[in-house]
Structure 1
């Protein structure tokens, strides 16, 4: 049974398996898949707006990859949620089951200095995001090498 959601643009009820609001034409990213790489040809100009969770994509902003991720603080502390890479930024939104359910993190790609693969944990890997201010943010993701390839491609 699929739970109906409300469109973040017009508030109409929509089926998340459809991804498109039949009332306003917005595309809503709701995938439950571990990892999704998007076909950019899928995002035609007919979509009035594109949303990830309730975050509206900017003008000419397109999703590249999304998936389950943990923002990693230490061996005993992390927050789970979803990570989205677009052609303009990297966004993390925590899911509701966290101690910090409203956690939101983002960085514009112009502020990313470099990315690298971290510790390999069999089916998941850490990816490290180094920003231009000297901060390092670490995520645990499935398919870390694919994330790294997509990040490097988006940065170039």
Structure 2
């Protein structure tokens, strides 16, 4: 676990276990667990802003679920990172250990046509996201069924 980080809003040093910046009050998503579903009641109206990595959440945007994931291209190619589902979009940020550490992918929920469960790999599962333009993006995640349930709830 990271011992200290800088707030993406004000650059003050904060302890990730505190969940929010003591200086400006921003909530910073730093959870490093395999999968985590957020209790929306924990997001106080006093939080000035909410960040995932250095990405600022939009107005009235709240995190629903985050976790480790791979964006899957083929049997020999994927990029690892973290996936975040909010009430407005699905976001993937690659971690620094990838060949392509600056990889960023997102889709607004209004552009998701459907999501379905893919191949089950014992511990992990694939979830497939189909957009309104006919594109398919696959992620390998832990708890694919829970991801799918949360995604469907957010979509409807």
Same fold, TM-score > 0.5, yes or no: yes
In structure 1, the partner of 2:104 is 104
Deviations 1:117-138 (A, max 9, x none): 0000001000000000000000
Please state if 1:119 is matched with 2:119. Answer: yes
Q: CA deviation at 1:3?
A: 2.0
- C-alpha distance in structure 1 between counterparts of 2:57 and 2:64, whole Å: 12
Check 1:109–1:2 CA distance in 2 against 1; reply closer, same or farther (3 A cut).
Answer: closer
Structure 2 length normalisation: TM-score? 0.99
Deviations 1:81-119 (A, max 9, x none): 000000000000000000000000000000000000000
Q: What pairs up with 1:19-38 in 2 under 5 angstroms?
A: 19-38=19-38
In structure 2, the partner of 1:44 is 44
- C-alpha distance in structure 2 between counterparts of 1:17 and 1:109, whole Å: 29
- C-alpha distance in structure 2 between counterparts of 1:34 and 1:117, whole Å: 18
> Considering only aligned residues, what root-mean-square deviation do their CA atoms show, in Å?
0.8
5+ residue gaps, structure 2: none
- C-alpha distance in structure 2 between counterparts of 1:97 and 1:3, whole Å: 19
Q: CA deviation at 1:44?
A: 1.4
Report how many residues are paired.
156
Structure 1 length normalisation: TM-score? 0.99
In structure 1, the partner of 2:150 is 150
